[in-house]
Structure 1
Amino acid sequence: MANQTQTSTHETPQPFAGDVVFQFPNRAFIENLHVLHNGHILFSTLTSGNLYILDPRSSNPSPTIVASLVGSTGLTGIVSLGQGRYAISGGIHSSFSFVRGSMQLYVVSMEASDPAGAEVTDTIPVPDTSMMNGMVALPNRPHTVLSADSIDGRIYRVNTETKEVSVAFADPALAPGDSPGIPFGANGLKLRDGYLYFTNSALGTYARVSIDDDGNKTGNVEVLATLGSAASPANAYDDFDFDAHGNVYIAVHSASINKVTPNGEQFLFAGGSNSTTFKEPTSVAMAEDRKSIYVTTGGTIAGNTTYGGQIINVKL
């Protein structure tokens, strides 16, 4: 790794709480989300092979199943391929991983104005991995996506037109290392200005690496921020997103959203150790108007009460 920057997390005096848009009544674990141009939200869970859509502005937001992805019991990444097509990754989910060899990339065609007409148009097997975590489409080759193999420390490349699956590159910065508490590394991917950005849950790092138009690594990994203390299941980076100014908002287990500025300063942005709003944050996505973020959570069990996965809106 190169140019490692150590940053600490400073709690703001009054971090934002956020407004709960929707919460499952049962122990459904929301894993990822994608905001459409019309403001509706596509999201996945680790507790079923269903792809959901939600209108957060309706009077009583309630999700609808867009498609049931056969062969998967849990879904992870979602990315737009353009022209109303989306890539979704999934497989047979087990604790902290998927059954090796069960991962697949699904192509779903759907018009934002008519989600009921969604159709699974292709299924591409991704062998020899037990995790696909986060996903991005290459800007100059939008039919090709990259996804993190969080356990074996690799970036997979999948061409959704030719169905070719290959390893773009491997790097120890993507792997979990010898962390005793978290068995997976790279968690969430974003592309920005020629860099692939990622968090590593086990190592407690937020980093980037330069790539070319085909997704091949062209430089060394740069660590941009780190957790203020040792990573653990109760203290771990998850997925993230950028605002228009290059600030990044990172979901942090068990109850926080951290903000990292372009110069590496890190702050608690929402939630925090004393907050009861965010129940295991898993991912962040900018709203379509860029004035707020949506946060998904996995839910939790506290005492005798079960809290399902949530979608929460936080103003910027």
Structure 2
Amino acid sequence: MVRIPRLAAAVAAASALTVLAAGPAVCAGDPTVTDPHVLAHFDFAAGQTPENIALEPDGSADLTLAFARQVARVDRHGGTRILATLPAVANPQTPVLGAAIVTGLARAEDGTLYVNYVTGTPETGVWRIAPDGSAPEQIAQLPADGLPNGLALDEDCGTLYTADSALGTVWRVPVDGGEPTAWATGAALEPTPQLPFGANGLKLHDGAVWVSNTAHGTLLRIPFEHEHEHGHGHGQEPGHGHDRTAGPVETRATGLTAIDDFAFTGHGDTVLAALNTVHELALVRADGSHKTVLTAKDGLENPTSVAVHAKNVYVNSAAFYVQPNPDPNLLLARISKNKD
């Protein structure tokens, strides 16, 4: 049985931990987010709580439906179909949550999807979903006492990076499968006794791995460093070379109450971040200041992740502890041309 109330209690604790920092009400050059509307609704009772997003070239959205163990595709008109269901686990022991869930999602150029499956058993790890519709296949095993969450693919280097919310670790996983490596650790990535969700969302951007920490309400940047000089990685995506190590963790923003996943608005460092327990989407500027751009009045119910495609913003809402009528959904809005 899906134990969503346990998640609700854990995530709800975040609202008591941090206070949303007050940024300027208006800042010249800020992208604007307008015309929000719900594109698709999901079945809360069936565990269809949207967790993460990967976008298709045509603007369709691939979503993980966490407690249903499903990956679904929502087209631009709101039509939804299930792409894959991860196999049931007889006795899941998922840290904090108890139930087996799917979390982070990443897409390769050929349409292959990579998804984190978290069970508290040997099935915990990264799974591959081929575009031909064949059954999902586990390509890497991650620690059973971990909670791999956000996921990103560096296709040039054949590497996946995932943020472990329970173990406070960023794992590096070969895209062809094999032994994961603990790429980054430390106090900035760890959970707290009050809230057992540390490193959460993860993106590759401008020569670095960016990570949110839910318990601390922070947005972090971990630059790539090189053991040798033949790779640089100063573009929007990391550079070539397989020998990059993690540089010092930089805190880029604080006071982001219960931040979950996030997305960059363009080539600069401006971010849209899902603030789970306060039902908000925040615009986080490169200097760390931030403001609210969408709220519960726009349809957000425990937003979990964000994606940006052309002039569109996608926001998942999982509705983990919205009662009495939870409405897990996918919201679509417009974003102005980025000034950064």
TM-score tier after normalising by the smaller chain length: 0.7 to 0.9
Distance 1:11 1:251, change over 3 A: farther
TM superposition shift of 1:39:
1.2
TM-score, L = length of structure 1 = 0.81
2:57 maps to which residue? 37
Distance 1:280 1:12 in 2: 23
1:21 alignment partner AA: L
CA RMSD in angstroms, aligned pairs only: 2.5
Matching of residue 170 in structure 1 with residue 185 in structure 2: yes
Question: Alignment partner of 1:9: what SS?
Answer: coil
TM superposition shift of 1:245:
4.3
1:89 maps to which residue? 116
Matching of residue 266 in structure 1 with residue 290 in structure 2: yes
Does structure 2 conserve the Cα–Cα contact (< 8 Å) formed by 1:106 and 1:120? Answer: no
TM superposition shift of 1:44:
0.5
* Greater share of strand: 1
Distance 1:12 1:270 in 2: 14
Distance 1:91 1:156, change over 3 A: same
Distance 1:215 1:87, change over 3 A: farther
Distance 1:84 1:147, change over 3 A: same
1:312 maps to which residue? 331
1:65 maps to which residue? 82
Does structure 2 conserve the Cα–Cα contact (< 8 Å) formed by 1:7 and 1:265? Answer: no
Does structure 2 conserve the Cα–Cα contact (< 8 Å) formed by 1:208 and 1:221? Answer: yes
1:202 maps to which residue? 215
Distance 2:159 2:133 in 1: 21
TM superposition shift of 1:263:
2.6
2:174 maps to which residue? 159
Which of 298, 301, 305 is the aligned partner of 2:318?
298
Distance 1:308 1:119 in 2: 31
2:125 maps to which residue? 104
Does structure 1 conserve the Cα–Cα contact (< 8 Å) formed by 2:36 and 2:298? Answer: no
TM-score, L = length of structure 2 = 0.76
Question: Alignment partner of 1:188: what SS?
Answer: strand
Does structure 2 conserve the Cα–Cα contact (< 8 Å) formed by 1:19 and 1:313? Answer: yes
Distance 2:287 2:243 in 1: 25
Distance 2:184 2:252 in 1: 20
Which of 24, 34, 42 is the aligned partner of 2:42?
24
Of residues 120-129 and 64-73 in structure 1, the stretch that sits farther from structure 2 once superposed is 120-129
TM superposition shift of 1:8:
2.4
Which of 151, 176, 179 is the aligned partner of 1:135?
151
Does structure 1 conserve the Cα–Cα contact (< 8 Å) formed by 2:86 and 2:136? Answer: no
Question: Alignment partner of 1:173: what SS?
Answer: helix
Distance 1:162 1:30 in 2: 26
Equivalent residues, number: 282
Distance 2:177 2:39 in 1: 39
Which of 291, 299, 302 is the aligned partner of 1:277?
299
Distance 1:119 1:313, change over 3 A: same
- CA displacement, residues 85-130 of structure 1 (integer Å, 9 cap, x when unaligned): 12111132xxxxxx254412111111xxxxxx42236313223442
Distance 1:299 1:128, change over 3 A: closer
- CA displacement, residues 225-246 of structure 1 (integer Å, 9 cap, x when unaligned): 1116xxxxxx410100001242
Which of 200, 204, 224 is the aligned partner of 1:191?
204
Question: Alignment partner of 1:306: what SS?
Answer: coil
TM superposition shift of 1:132:
0.5
Distance 1:268 1:279, change over 3 A: same
Question: Alignment partner of 2:188: what SS?
Answer: helix
Distance 1:43 1:166 in 2: 26
Distance 1:279 1:148 in 2: 23
Distance 2:242 2:190 in 1: 22
1:250 maps to which residue? 273
Distance 1:121 1:70, change over 3 A: closer
Question: Alignment partner of 1:119: what SS?
Answer: coil
1:67 alignment partner AA: A
Q: Which blocks of at least 5 consecutive residues in structure 1 are unaligned? A: 1-5, 93-98, 111-116, 229-234
Distance 1:261 1:215 in 2: 31
1:96 maps to which residue? none
Distance 1:187 1:17, change over 3 A: farther
- CA displacement, residues 19-77 of structure 1 (integer Å, 9 cap, x when unaligned): 01011243431111111001111100221121111102x2xx23211111214632111
Distance 1:157 1:146 in 2: 5
Which of 225, 243, 248 is the aligned partner of 1:220?
248
User: Identity rate of aligned residues, in percent?
Assistant: 24
Q: Which blocks of at least 5 consecutive residues in structure 2 are unaligned? A: 1-18, 27-31, 90-99, 226-240, 336-340
- CA displacement, residues 209-256 of structure 1 (integer Å, 9 cap, x when unaligned): 11245485442111111116xxxxxx4101000012421000002310
2:230 maps to which residue? none
